[in-house]
């Protein structure tokens, strides 16, 4: 036991040093493949857990070098198909010990409860192990666990309840566990199908591009529209430059607000919206800049009452406001002061040469 404790102390410093490198490496590799990851975390077994495993009955460990999971890294994905994508990365980038690696998804009987995950035992790949920053870790074996977020939730709850083996679980609890496992597996499958459907839909919208006369506007199509339509993207860039503001990344939440605006204007398709923006682009630009500069007097201040950057698609909102101020659609819930300002700007801008379009 004393020798094991000494060996642990000699080994653990290297493992603790390696752990953050391994985390960073996996983040970089999965990001390069475009795999969405919930989180990646590493851990080094405690001395107590390590010594307990070394002295487990029925095992003939000769020392810590026989253990392959003292250093471990856990990768939690959002979807179960991403577990397979991560597995492909691991197999390609590391030297995997196939004999000691295990896919628990393939072992689980249909009438048994338990969590599904992949467990790899691996070392650094030959080329990476030869690099100066990794050479000292070239012979270190470690464990990589990969599971989806729902699989992880199952494992954490099961662990918290204290059940390590199904043989210790009362029959009624086993039945409940089985039902829950089925529900989680179904949920994982449905989330994957939803992701696939939305991906195929976005691809179809992307292919439609500027010729999308028949593409109906909804949250998804409008989200793509504000990123791809040349009229709205040009207007966003022009306004952001005039206001000396950054252009925000696109947000789906903002597309929900813009969808309310398009419905209020009676606009139902991608092409209709693009045409309306194009016909009003000059006066709309003047209207936006005049309104925002008056509302936020000093644009150099970091806090502009909530508008510190231009969200993609802002022109759609101001097209809506322009139509309200012009009397083309009902004022709805706009406060009197804002509506009076908007109407004043509308009258002023419409009186300018070339500014008579109402949008």
In total, the chain counts a number of residues equal to 359
pLDDT of residue 303: 42
What mean pLDDT do residues 274-291 have? 85
> Based on the domain organization, do 247 and 179 belong to the same domain?
no
Q: Which of 87-101, 144-158, 274-288, 292-306 has the lowest mean pLDDT?
A: 292-306
CA 280/CA 45 separation, integer angstroms: 65
CA 137/CA 13 separation, integer angstroms: 12
What mean pLDDT do residues 56-77 have? 85
Whether residue 7 contacts residue 45, with contact meaning beta carbons closer than 8 Å, is answered with: no
> Based on the domain organization, do 168 and 252 belong to the same domain?
no
**Mean pLDDT over each residue of the chain, to the nearest integer:** 80
> 95 versus 183: which is more confidently predicted?
95
Range of the domain at 50: 2-187
CA 38/CA 77 separation, integer angstroms: 5
pLDDT of residue 87: 94
pLDDT of residue 204: 66
**Position 358 confidence tier, pLDDT thresholds 50, 70, 90:** very low
3-31: per-residue pLDDT in tens? 777 788 878 888 999 999 999 999 999 99
> 24 versus 221: which is more confidently predicted?
24
Find the CATH number of the domain harbouring 156.
Answer: 3.30.460.10
**Alpha-carbon radius of gyration of the chain:** 29
> Based on the domain organization, do 301 and 222 belong to the same domain?
yes
CA 39/CA 156 separation, integer angstroms: 15
Q: Is residue 198 part of a domain?
A: no
Q: Is residue 358 part of a domain?
A: no
**Phi then psi for 103, rounded to 5 degrees?**
-105, 100
- Measured from the Cβ of residue 141, the count of other Cβ atoms closer than 10 Å reads 18
> Based on the domain organization, do 216 and 333 belong to the same domain?
yes
Q: Which of 130-134, 179-183, 208-212 has the lowest mean pLDDT?
A: 208-212
Q: Is the pLDDT of residue 92 over 60?
A: yes
What mean pLDDT do residues 131-143 have? 91
What mean pLDDT do residues 172-189 have? 80
Percent of the chain at pLDDT > 90 equals: 25
Q: Is the pLDDT of residue 111 over 60?
A: no
> Based on the domain organization, do 39 and 169 belong to the same domain?
yes
> Based on the domain organization, do 342 and 238 belong to the same domain?
yes
Q: Is residue 143 part of a domain?
A: yes
> Based on the domain organization, do 121 and 270 belong to the same domain?
no
Q: Taking each helix axis as running N to C, give the angle between helix 252-264 and helix 219-228, from 0 to 180 degrees, rounded to the nearest 10.
A: 100
Q: Is residue 199 part of a domain?
A: no
Q: Which of 163-177, 181-195, 203-217 has the lowest mean pLDDT?
A: 203-217
Q: Is residue 217 part of a domain?
A: yes
Look up the pTM and report it. 0.59
Q: Is the pLDDT of residue 108 over 70?
A: no
Integer angstrom CA distances of residue 193 from 30, 154, 198, 214, 286: 21, 20, 9, 25, 45
Of 199, 284, 280, 170, the residue nearest 238 (C-alpha): 284
Q: Which of 127-136, 284-293, 314-323, 348-357 has the lowest mean pLDDT?
A: 348-357
> Based on the domain organization, do 257 and 346 belong to the same domain?
yes
Give the count of domains, the chain. Answer: 2
Domain termination site, one of 134, 154, 187: 187
CA 118/CA 101 separation, integer angstroms: 8
Q: Is the pLDDT of residue 84 over 80?
A: yes
């Amino acid at each position: 036991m004393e020798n094991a404790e000494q060996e642990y102390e000699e080994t653990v410093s290297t493992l603790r040093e390696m752990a953050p490198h391994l985390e960073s490496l996996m983040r970089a590799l999965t990001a390069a493949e475009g795999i969405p990851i919930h989180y990646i975390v590493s851990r080094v077994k405690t001395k107590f857990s390590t010594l307990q495993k070394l002295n487990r009955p029925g095992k003939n460990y000769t020392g810590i070098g026989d253990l392959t999971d003292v250093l471990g890294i856990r990768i939690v994905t959002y979807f179960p198909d991403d577990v397979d994508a991560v597995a492909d990365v691991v197999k390609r980038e590391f030297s995997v010990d196939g004999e000691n690696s295990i896919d628990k998804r393939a072992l689980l009987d249909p009438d048994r409860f338990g969590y599904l995950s992949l467990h790899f035992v691996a070392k650094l790949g030959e080329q990476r192990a030869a690099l100066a920053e990794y050479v000292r870790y070239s012979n270190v074996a470690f464990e990589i666990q990969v599971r989806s977020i729902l699989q992880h939730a199952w494992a954490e709850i099961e662990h918290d309840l204290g059940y390590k083996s199904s043989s210790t679980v009362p029959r009624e609890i086993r039945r409940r566990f089985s039902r829950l496992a089925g529900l989680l597996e179904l949920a994982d499958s449905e989330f994957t199908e939803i992701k696939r459907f939305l991906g195929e839909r976005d691809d179809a919208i992307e292919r439609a591009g500027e010729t999308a006369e028949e593409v109906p506007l909804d949250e998804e199509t409008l989200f793509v529209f504000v990123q791809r339509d040349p009229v709205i993207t040009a207007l966003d860039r022009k306004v952001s430059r005039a206001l000396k503001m950054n252009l925000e990344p696109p947000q789906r939440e903002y597309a929900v607000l813009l969808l309310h605006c398009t419905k209020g204007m009676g606009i139902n398709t991608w092409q209709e919206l693009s045409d309306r923006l194009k016909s009003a682009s000059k006066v709309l630009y003047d209207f936006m800049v005049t309104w925002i500069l008056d509302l936020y007097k000093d644009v150099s201040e970091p806090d502009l009452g909530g508008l510190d950057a231009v969200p993609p698609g802002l022109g759609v909102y101001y097209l809506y406001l322009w139509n309200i101020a012009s009397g083309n659609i009902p004022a709805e819930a706009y406060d009197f002061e804002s509506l009076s300002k908007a109407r004043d700007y509308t009258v002023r801008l419409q009186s300018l040469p070339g500014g008579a379009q109402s949008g």
